[in-house]
């Protein structure tokens, strides 16, 4: 199966229009996990929105570090420490380039998007919050872009407000703009919804917020493996990504922050390597960003693996990945809506990678169990987005999510599994 790239609107950056060859079968061979069988069936992995599989190049990069270069970074003059430090900082430079940052100093390694948001909540937002202030988010946010703001607002006597979404799963932009007022201290918005697949027009949202003097954090955890990203084009103040959602390791991610913001922020945690000096008499002085926010021994192998994942994505080209996945998404929507009783949740015209659905009379967990027995891996539940579920009056849904390695045959296996489940429960 081969596809060609085409444009997509609303992502904050135009996709290439030059046709690009995309050989999905060759790509699949790079992912060892996909070669196995589950319950006697070839594995059909449709859970990439929860965590993507890892290509051999990522696994080898991490293995090579542990086998050849394993040492702590920034603290040794011996050869292994020098090589480890070089690999770690090279990975930072790769992430900075991938995101379009002005300098690698704008990239802080964190455990994932969740920790990045918590860092901003504690180090940037909390000192600026006063009683009566507000943080604005949207109803389609992941819990990670809700709870950190709730925690600091509760401490400061501020509140979190959520912009509504439509029945199709689109953000109500007029309502959002009206909610950004003189009391708003920060706007947090997801680029690509992990539940609905909606691609928010983040560039225009950021322009609106900036006109009112409000900084913006973009949750790009889902977007990073599906859409081209450029923090300079978006002009966001902060942006977070997670390695495990972009074909990289678990337990590593990155926070982009404009350097003028980072330089005003106090440390998030204390410990080694985030200091300049420590004294009982004179107190402690702190290193410049990003070291200021990377206390303790970092996940060096994870950072190197994340750098390898960036290399992988750039080799395939985000534009051709997006085109391939868009083709599968539209064909998957046609397959599922042709099955009696299946209802898609999230039907925005500008969306990516997510087939979120319910089947009349069958609990999503039962669907997931039947599909698993057919070798089809999907996610069931509230997807760490309970406010979104409440908006649609649902306790749970089933979610099939598409990655660069999926094929039309995977979607046919999903449809066949749903047919079997419907016959079993009716």
pLDDT tens digit string along 253-266? Answer: 999 999 999 999 99
What's the pLDDT at 246?
Answer: 98
Catalytic-labelled residue, pool 153, 236, 384, 404: 384
Q: How far is 138 from 163, CA to CA, in rounded Å?
A: 4
DSSP string, 332-369: HHHHHHTSTTEEES---SSB-SEEEEEETTB-HHHHHH
Range with the lowest mean pLDDT among 114-118, 158-162, 273-277? 273-277
What's the pLDDT at 318?
Answer: 86
Is pLDDT at 7 greater than 80 in this prediction?
no
H-helix or E-strand spanning residue 304: helix 300-316
Give the mean model confidence (pLDDT) for residues 287-293. 96
Task: Report long-range pairs for 21-29 (Cβ below 8 Å, ≥24 apart).
Answer: 21/320, 22/316, 22/320, 22/321, 22/323, 22/324, 24/324, 24/404, 24/405, 24/406, 24/407, 25/1, 25/407, 27/316, 27/404, 27/405, 28/405, 28/407
Q: How far is 147 from 122, CA to CA, in rounded Å?
A: 12
Q: Token digits for 184?
A: 């708003």
CA max distance for the chain: 75
The answer to whether 384 is a known catalytic residue is yes
Tell me the pLDDT band of 426, cut-offs 50, 70 and 90.
confident
Closest alpha carbon to 352 in 228, 239, 254: 228
Tell me the pLDDT band of 16, cut-offs 50, 70 and 90.
very low
Is residue 227 within 8 Å of 200, Cβ to Cβ?
A: no
Per residue in 84-115, pLDDT tens? 999 999 999 999 999 999 999 999 999 999 99
Is pLDDT at 2 greater than 50 in this prediction?
no
DSSP string, 163-217: E-B-TTS-B-HHHHHHH--TTEEEEEEESB-TTT-BB--HHHHHHHHHHTT--EE
What's the pLDDT at 273?
Answer: 87
Per residue in 401-415, pLDDT tens? 999 999 999 999 999
Mean pLDDT of the chain: 94
Q: How far is 150 from 135, CA to CA, in rounded Å?
A: 9
Class of the CATH domain delimited by 59-314: alpha beta
Give the mean model confidence (pLDDT) for residues 130-147. 98
Is residue 293 within 8 Å of 77, Cβ to Cβ?
A: no
CB atoms within 10 A of CB 159: 16
What's the pLDDT at 397?
Answer: 98
Peptide bond into 216 cis (omega under 30): no
Range with the lowest mean pLDDT among 71-75, 238-242, 303-307? 71-75
Is pLDDT at 14 greater than 80 in this prediction?
no
Is pLDDT at 385 greater than 80 in this prediction?
yes
2-54+317-425 with 59-314: one CATH topology?
A: no
Judging by DSSP bridges, how do beta strands 159-163 and 134-138 pair with one another?
parallel
Per residue in 197-215, pLDDT tens? 999 999 999 999 999 999 9
Please enumerate in sequence order all residues whose Cβ is within 8 A of that of 423, keeping only pairs 6 or more positions apart, or say none. none
What's the pLDDT at 366?
Answer: 97
**Token pair 């094929």 in the structure block, residue:** 407
Q: Kindly list the domain boundaries of the chain, sorted by start residue.
A: 2-54+317-425, 59-314
Tell me the pLDDT band of 76, cut-offs 50, 70 and 90.
confident
Percent of the chain with pLDDT strictly greater than 70: 95
Is pLDDT at 11 greater than 90 in this prediction?
no
Tell which CATH architecture fits domain 2-54+317-425: Alpha-Beta Complex (3.90)
Is residue 345 within 8 Å of 167, Cβ to Cβ?
A: no
Is residue 43 within 8 Å of 420, Cβ to Cβ?
A: no
Q: How far is 202 from 65, CA to CA, in rounded Å?
A: 37
Is pLDDT at 20 greater than 70 in this prediction?
no
Give the mean model confidence (pLDDT) for residues 118-131. 98
Q: Count Cα atoms within 13 angstroms, Cβ side, for 39.
A: 10
Per residue in 336-378, pLDDT tens? 999 999 999 999 999 999 999 999 999 999 999 999 999 999 9
């Amino acid at each position: 199966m081969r596809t060609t790239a085409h444009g997509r609107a609303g992502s904050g950056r135009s996709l290439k229009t030059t046709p690009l060859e995309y050989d999905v079968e060759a790509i699949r061979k790079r992912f060892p996990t996909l070669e196995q069988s589950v319950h006697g069936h070839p594995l059909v992995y449709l859970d990439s929105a929860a965590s993507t599989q890892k290509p051999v190049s990522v696994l080898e990069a991490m293995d090579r570090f542990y086998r050849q270069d394993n040492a702590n970074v920034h603290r040794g003059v011996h050869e292994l420490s020098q090589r480890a430090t070089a690999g770690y900082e090279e990975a930072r430079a790769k992430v900075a380039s991938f995101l379009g940052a002005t300098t690698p100093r704008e990239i802080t390694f964190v455990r994932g998007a969740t920790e990045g948001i918590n860092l901003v909540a504690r180090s940037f937002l909390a000192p600026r919050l006063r009683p009566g202030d507000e943080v604005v988010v949207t109803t389609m946010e992941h819990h990670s872009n809700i709870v950190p703001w709730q925690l600091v607002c509760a401490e400061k006597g501020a509140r979190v407000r959520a912009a509504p979404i439509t029945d199709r799963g689109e953000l109500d932009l007029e309502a959002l703009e009206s909610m950004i007022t003189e009391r708003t201290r920060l706007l947090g918005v997801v680029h690509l919804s992990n539940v609905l697949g909606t691609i928010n027009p983040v560039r225009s949202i950021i322009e609106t917020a900036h006109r009112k003097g409000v900084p913006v954090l973009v949750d790009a955890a889902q977007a990073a493996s599906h859409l081209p990203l450029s923090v300079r084009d978006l002009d966001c103040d902060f942006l977070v990504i997670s390695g495990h959602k972009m074909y990289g390791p678990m337990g590593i991610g990155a926070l982009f922050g404009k350097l003028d913001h980072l330089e005003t922020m106090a440390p998030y945690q204390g410990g080694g390597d985030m200091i300049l000096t420590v004294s009982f008499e004179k107190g402690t002085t702190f290193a410049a960003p990003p070291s200021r926010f990377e206390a303790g021994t970092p996940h060096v192998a994870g950072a190197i693996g994340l750098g390898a994942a960036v290399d992988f994505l750039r080799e395939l080209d985000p534009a051709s990945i997006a085109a391939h996945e868009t083709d599968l998404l539209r064909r998957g929507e046609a397959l599922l809506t042709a099955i009696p009783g299946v209802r898609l949740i999230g039907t925005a015209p500008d969306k990516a990678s997510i087939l979120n659905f319910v089947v009349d009379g069958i609990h999503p967990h039962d669907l997931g169990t039947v599909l698993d027995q057919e070798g089809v891996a999907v996610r069931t539940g509230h997807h760490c987005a309970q406010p979104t579920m409440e908006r649609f009056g649902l306790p749970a849904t089933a979610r099939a999510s598409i990655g660069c390695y999926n094929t039309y045959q995977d979607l046919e296996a999903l449809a066949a599994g749903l047919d079997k489940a419907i016959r079993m429960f009716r």
